[in-house]
Amino acid sequence: MAKPAVGWFEVTGKDGPGLQRFYSTLFDWKIADAGGGSGYGLIEAGPQGIAGGIGASPDGGPGQVTFYVEVEDLAAYLAKAEELGGTTVMPCDRPLEGCGAMTVGPALRSQGTTSSDVGG
């Protein structure tokens, strides 16, 4: 991987079906049910876009927008995020298997928002 790239996005909120209706109508997205009764919807990547998902917030909270960035050295990018004032709020618990870790930038933290994810 030459450069970190956004590989997935996710929109969650209290009303997952409402969010799916809104975004499918707004952008003419075809949202497929992820199955298993989850209520989570999958959006295929367009020719110049990335795939993503829309659904209810798992904890019933107000939700968030999250983007997932693929990087080669997860630990190095988490350290860099913290040097820039970010906070790791969900560390990687299995680095040898490949996993993600949630970080929050300083501007978003001041708003009580989590909205970025770095994956190795």
Q: Are residues 8 and 55 in the same domain?
A: yes
- Find, among 118, 117, 115, the residue nearest to 13 by Cα: 115
CA distances from 76 to 41, 43, 53, 90, 99 (A): 32, 30, 27, 15, 14
Backbone angles phi, psi at 12, to 5 degrees: -130, 155
Q: Convert the pLDDT of each residue in 81-114 to its tens digit.
A: 888 888 887 777 765 566 666 666 654 444 444 4
- Give the per-residue pLDDT at 102: 64
- Give the per-residue pLDDT at 25: 93
CATH number, position 25 = 3.10.180.10
pTM of the shown model: 0.72
Q: What stretches of 28-65 show up as alpha helix (H) in DSSP?
A: none
Quote the domain boundaries for residue 18: 1-63
Task: Provide the number of structural domains found in the chain.
Answer: 2
DSSP assignment letter at 30: -
| Pairwise CA distance, residues 27 & 78, whole Å | 33
pLDDT below 50 — which residues of the chain? 107-116, 120
- Give the per-residue pLDDT at 32: 96
